[in-house]
Chains A and B, each alone.
Chain A
Amino acid sequence: MEHGHSAALTRSALLMSRIRDTERTGENAEVTLLVQRTLGGDTAAFEELIVRYERRVFTLAMKLLGSSDDAQDAAQEVFLRVFKYLHRFDAQKPIEPWLLQVTVNVCRNIGRIRQRCWNTFPVTVEPDLAVAHPSRDPHAGLAEEQQRQMLWKALDALPQKERLAVILRDIDGLKTSEVAQLLGSSETTVRSQVSRARVRMKEAIEQMMGGRL
């Protein structure tokens, strides 16, 4: 009886996996078509690509830069670069890692040019970033805001490479292997950067909270 239940679970998992693979393949095929149409001069196809990935690109830029204005500039630059160098994208592979790599590079450049992003993260999120939630408890909002400010301050104190690695791994939720690929380094290096950052963040937060977490 138990054996039958386990076999059913396995079959179900296999079926779900196949469905996910099919969906992914279908999405890749659609993206490939959009890329080909864009390269053929169809700007509407490129707009469709933007619609598909603008949230992902903007959100990552926001996490990396900490400012809505900078993230908007970064997202625009990412898509303009993607349009210019779309021929470099290998349509046999998924487009998202490539887009994220461009995003990380653009955010690094913006940081260097403005000399602020990695050293002086703004500690607040602009009100226009998120849709307003009038039903929220204002006290809860204040606590969240304080928490956010504390986190930005702790992140701000990290060395640049550790900050980038920990944002991608812990805040954006990418796998270690994906972070390594995006940053062009090894998984061992990423693990080392992330682990140091976690320890430093813990100590910084505890200090800000008077030793209690």
Chain B
Amino acid sequence: MNCAYSKEILALYVEDDLPTSDAVHKVESHVLACAACLQYCEELRKSQGFIKSGFRSTYQQPLSQEILGKIRRVVMSQIEGIRQSLGWAVRLERFLILGLRAHRYAIVGCLGVAAVSASFLAQIQHSGHKANVGAAIFVENDNLLCPPNYREWVFVGCSLGMGHTLNKSSELYHNVYIDPLAYREYQRSGKFPDGTVMLLESMSAGTKFASESDGSYEEDVIALQASVKDSTRFDGGWGFYDFTAGVGKLKPQAEPLPQTAGCLACHREKAATDHVFTQFYPVLRVSTAKL
């Protein structure tokens, strides 16, 4: 085509697809004055006619009843299975949608939502806005539940024989873990977020004497203590807990240790980063080295 007019606009024009009558008039006045566009429109009409007639001959023939019957049979044979295997999400969705379409159910639904909301708000108020954050799970009186899977957390380091306020024995190994969410945030920002839980697991040192492999190894759990960062609960931002219930035994939950235990003061004065002894834990030193 010798004219630079848009072929696409002409392709809309020949099928009466232009959006406004103004557009139609504009294109029409050009086409009537331009031999190249007039011819192009004719060609387009032919090709559109060719396309439509080609498909019409296929799809206007009557469909085989055999195929339609087969589709129906297959569907009908499977719908009972579908009905029985509907997941809870679809059942709930169906219940809500169908229920809310009926007025009486809508009223019941609204009342239900209102009741749940009120209960939720009451719980928030009752707890004094001390919602659980991070890995720390508190129960009444700020007691902390012992994390059952802490050995799957990030292991930040181990020290041997270093004294600790609550475990005077110098023969203990101290394994230190941090919850993964807090670790990732610390890696990202260099700060411990609210909800950070760190666990200090004290293990007795076993010894083995053999000519080719003398040495010491971790034997029994002697103590398990936690430090938790939560600025809404604790003065100074950190709380300390002791889950120890005897050698090899742990309590399912622990009450916060009093300030007189000296944990907070010691961690505040001697720890390198926000009450955490990052200077002793290589993993945490590496984490912040790149920041």
Q: A residues near B, CB below 8 A?
A: 39, 43, 46-47, 50-51, 54-55, 58-59, 62-63, 68, 72, 75-76, 79-80, 83-85, 87-88, 125, 128-131, 133, 144, 147-148, 150-151, 154, 169-171, 176, 187-188, 191-192, 194-196, 198-199, 201-202, 205-206, 213
Contact = CB atoms under 8 A, between A and B. Distances in A.
B63 A129 contact: yes
Interface string B215-254: 0000000000000000000000000000000000000000
A43 B72 contact: no
Interface residues of B, number: 46
Interface stretch (B89-97, B128-136, B154-162, B179-187): B89-97
A60 B63 CA distance: 12
Interface in B69-119: 70-72, 74-76, 78-80, 82-83, 86, 90, 93-94, 97-98
Contacts of A213: 43, 46-47, 50
B29 interface: no
A34 to B, nearest CB: 14
Contacts of B209: none
A195 B51 contact: no
A55 B63 contact: yes
A62 B59 contact: yes
Given A50-B75, A205-B50, 12 more contacts: A47-B76, A55-B63, A129-B58, A129-B61, A131-B62, A151-B55, A171-B55, A188-B19, A194-B17, A195-B9, A201-B51, A202-B44
A206 to B, nearest CB: 7
A41 to B, nearest CB: 8
Given A195-B9, A202-B43, A128 B64 contact: yes
Nearest to B6: A195
Contacts of B66: 128
A194 B44 CA distance: 13
26 contacts: A46-B79, A50-B71, A50-B75, A50-B76, A54-B68, A55-B63, A55-B68, A58-B71, A59-B59, A63-B55, A72-B67, A79-B71, A84-B82, A87-B97, A128-B67, A129-B67, A133-B61, A144-B57, A148-B58, A169-B17, A170-B51, A171-B51, A195-B8, A198-B11, A199-B7, A201-B47
Contacts of A176: 17
Contact of A196 (B8, B53, B90): B8
A125 B63 CA distance: 12
Q: Is the interface of A mostly helix, strand, loop or mixed?
A: helix
B52 A170 contact: yes
Contacts of A75: 71
A195 B86 CA distance: 43
A94 B64 CA distance: 27
A76 B47 CA distance: 34
Contacts of B82: 80, 83-84
Contacts of A206: 43, 47
A148 B54 contact: yes
Contacts of A169: 17
Contacts of A55: 63, 68
Given A151-B54, A187-B19, A213-B46, A195 B12 contact: yes
A59 to B, nearest CB: 6
Nearest to B49: A213
B142 interface: no
Most interface-central of A47, A88, A130, A154 (chain B CB within 10 A): A130
B54 A144 contact: yes
